[in-house]
Structure 1
Amino acid sequence: MIMDEPKPVGEGSGPNASRLLSAAVGHCLSASLLFCLAKARLNVERVETTVETSFRRNEKGRLRIGSLRAHIHLSIRREDVERLKRCLELFEDFCVVTQSVRQGIPVSVDVATRDEKGS
């Protein structure tokens, strides 16, 4: 993996540490949810996860990650939506990265579903 900083510090040839942290949170949440759904024998057609990262300055004016907001979009069969609820109650607690990051940075998560037809 190549990591880099944007110009003028780096060449922008890879993600920086902040983007990598955001990606790790998004991936871990997705993997935890998919694991639970597989155990529940729910077929997922597609998963799309995005993470919005907000920055803030601390009391010394240094840039810090202020919060992360993960958006997970699942494509599942309409008849499986009701069975999804149990996994939604559980999956975040099994995400090692998110639970670790939450000890210092607020992380919010929302999950939306759509069926194979996109509704």
Structure 2
Amino acid sequence: MDKLKKAVNDFRDERDWRQFHNEKDLAISISLEASELLELFQWNTSEETIKNNLNHVEDELADVLIYSIMLASNLELNIEEIILNKLKKNNQKYPVSKSKGTKKKYTDFNIE
């Protein structure tokens, strides 16, 4: 992950773009790029989009990830650590015994 973070930051720094990448604008950019990814699936099945637009899906997903890496870098967050922490929280909200094979939200599990 460090190598990837360095590559993203080097690309940005070589162009002196860090000055434009404040946290608010990076969060907005993540949302915009996620919308572009979503648009590829609009009016298609998942299978159709993957068959006909996989390269575009890769590009838009990469944009979401790049902006996410930049935001984490700006905030000095350890990406691996925050993902693992979130998975721990999700594991508590979605125990296997209650969530396996279902799409129910954790609030519908009636966990006491």
- Ranked by relative contact order (alpha carbons within 8 Å, sequence separation 6 or more), the top structure is 2
TM-score under structure 2 length normalisation: 0.30
Query: Which protein is richer in strand relative to its size?
Result: 1
